[in-house]
Structure 1
């Protein structure tokens, strides 16, 4: 038993070391963008659900945080600031599926084809989601959802979403390298880590345990790996449902995606699993609190349909183009630590993180974290007392 636990922890540790630099540099770029673009400006840019607005929402999302909890909370704050509801949902999708750190980690663990598949599928998923929202999410439901959103019910990342330290005025370079800009970057960077570390660690532990304990024959049978045609049909339907029960975030689920690929899941099935972070059980409960039970149920069905549909499109297009990998080998899980580019990039990334940590600590970061946590707990207590 002890040997099995050690094996799972070792696999989780190796995967974590392999993706650390990608997380650091992804969060750093996200923090820089958040430091120079305010949430208010984001909301002002999204007045309707026309194609141009959806493209802007997707671009803003791709430049934002990759944390699914933060993305959901920011989308709700946009709705409260009168951004179009569908555009806010497009922002939410893009900020978990089109972000740089997700693409980097996919490339490291699964190869560039999965990065391309996830980003291409993410765009298709947004198009499908917008089309489905127009048909099934009627104006009356939008009004009811907005009314519920204005009640201020707390979610897991409400404090993170509400924090807006972005610098305004002056050139991009001046804003970024000003004292306020550097402070904002440090705060956003460490707030992202504070909000995501548990989900990332959980994702790595689940992936390590699954890789160590669950035989590949189990995944092969679930995903019908012995029947390639059936596997392509079943994979996208099952992928998001596995994500629902493992409930890890958009970055934390990539190591498990590598395990599923090695185990026999179809290309589209793995892509659908990666997309599933926005319908995991804790997120569905947040939708219920933010927008009401009926709206949450409709959103869940629309999102699931968009995820499955996008995964089918990716499976077909990438298969036709000959871009689906022929081998199933997420090698990182079996490699030990060595003096390679990963180690050097991790050292550089940790040095940058240390400098940002110093700035974070010197400018009241821990106090702000505690204040946000207290505010979140107070809102949660008020919500329970109301019920």
Structure 2
């Protein structure tokens, strides 16, 4: 019981440390999704030119941070006409270039890891685009599109089918601060939390258990911590593999990254581990359902290589600039609640979350939540959205 309490106390300390950052990140993401229509995203992702991939990455960074939702959304964009490479760039950015991930990395690991995320993410996307250019054949893409159109579903399929952007014309601010804009923001905010909460809780519990129960000596040996060169070579290779078998994706793998960093994995290994949230075994199975076995294997190999390349280049760049922090300074949060800036920020952002939750509950949100994980009925969602906008109300807000 003492061991369990110790693990739970670490989990609680980490949770308290990152609560305000999560709320801030999801709120900013909800604001963007509330005013950017899905049809606009599809129109901008029609090819795989460098400029298009930059746009795809920017739109992804402003979108969902749930790995399952990102995978389902990328498939939805692909089915509606987006280029496959651009859809994959959007998917990667949706989980690895989001604001909340950067803030949490800074809080738990240091600003250097946040900088590495935003440097390594574009490197990974560029590496993946090059691999696609040289090795991805048109016939494989055609087969993947045929498989995607068969309607086999994975997690968060209903969530991906919902376009909850606010209707109407006018400036960004005018649409955002309108009643329908407020409703759309609240709906996206709550549903993003619903999509990520399972992985976040599991990740925090796993990190707390490993930090409390696995001795540092095991990790030091596993990551060759006493051999600097071997550690730098081994880290980016093993990091994605550890992520694959951890079953924890998106923001939920950051607490575990803290444990691995303290245990001796290299700087580049941490970055490769964080980027591998889209290669966990359940998501690989979803790739198989969405695009077929051959494309799933292709995505596994190409994504793994891109993550390894990003990890190595980040290690070389940040090491050459002297920006890699000392692992001896790594600390896993273990302190309880105290009245410092973290507590005040948590209180402020919890009030914001409460206001958005109340709006969600008062505007038909629970019914949407029940639909979120279900497969959408063919044509129903698109028709419902079109009719709602024609009538001048938010598509998921019957009383607006």
Q: TM-score range by the shorter chain?
A: over 0.9
Match of 1:360 in 2: 360
Q: Separation in 2 of the partners of 1:75 and 1:216? A: 39
Q: Separation in 2 of the partners of 1:167 and 1:148? A: 32
Q: Separation in 1 of the partners of 2:198 and 2:328? A: 28
Q: Separation in 2 of the partners of 1:106 and 1:357? A: 26
Q: Separation in 1 of the partners of 2:330 and 2:258? A: 6
Q: Which moved more, 1:88-97 or 1:161-170?
A: 161-170
> Per-residue displacement from partner, 1:61-111 (whole Å, max 9, x unpaired)?
111111111111111011011100000000111111111000000000000
Match of 2:127 in 1: 128
Match of 1:382 in 2: none
Displacement of 1:370 in angstroms is: 1.3
Q: Separation in 1 of the partners of 2:375 and 2:135? A: 35
> Per-residue displacement from partner, 1:155-202 (whole Å, max 9, x unpaired)?
101111111110242111111011111111000000011111110000
Cα distance 1:250–1:371, how it changes in 2: closer, same or farther (>3 A)?
closer
Displacement of 1:331 in angstroms is: 3.2
Q: Secondary structure at the match of 1:253?
A: helix
Displacement of 1:332 in angstroms is: 4.7
Match of 2:314 in 1: 314
Match of 2:17 in 1: 18
Matches within 5 A, 1:281-360: 281-360=281-360
Q: Is the 8 A contact 1:18 1:332 kept in 2?
A: no
Q: Secondary structure at the match of 1:328?
A: helix
Displacement of 1:353 in angstroms is: 0.7
Displacement of 1:377 in angstroms is: 11
Q: Separation in 2 of the partners of 1:352 and 1:199? A: 23
Q: Separation in 2 of the partners of 1:58 and 1:326? A: 31
Matches within 5 A, 1:1-387: 2-168=1-167, 169-375=169-375
> Per-residue displacement from partner, 1:335-354 (whole Å, max 9, x unpaired)?
22210111011101110111
Q: Is the 8 A contact 2:223 2:264 kept in 1?
A: yes
Q: Separation in 2 of the partners of 1:149 and 1:234? A: 36
Cα distance 1:72–1:374, how it changes in 2: closer, same or farther (>3 A)?
closer
Q: Separation in 1 of the partners of 2:373 and 2:99? A: 28
Q: Secondary structure at the match of 1:252?
A: helix
Q: Is the 8 A contact 1:109 1:330 kept in 2?
A: no
> How many pairs were matched up?
377
Displacement of 1:376 in angstroms is: 6.4
Cα distance 1:328–1:160, how it changes in 2: closer, same or farther (>3 A)?
farther
Q: Secondary structure at the match of 1:334?
A: coil
Q: Separation in 2 of the partners of 1:135 and 1:269? A: 26
Q: Separation in 1 of the partners of 2:68 and 2:201? A: 15
Gaps of 5+ in 1: 379-387
Q: Separation in 2 of the partners of 1:250 and 1:288? A: 20
Displacement of 1:18 in angstroms is: 0.4
Match of 1:383 in 2: none
Q: Is the 8 A contact 2:157 2:375 kept in 1?
A: no
Displacement of 1:330 in angstroms is: 3.9
Q: Is the 8 A contact 1:122 1:310 kept in 2?
A: yes
Question: What RMSD over aligned residues (CA atoms) do the two structures have, in Å?
Answer: 1.3
Displacement of 1:374 in angstroms is: 4.7
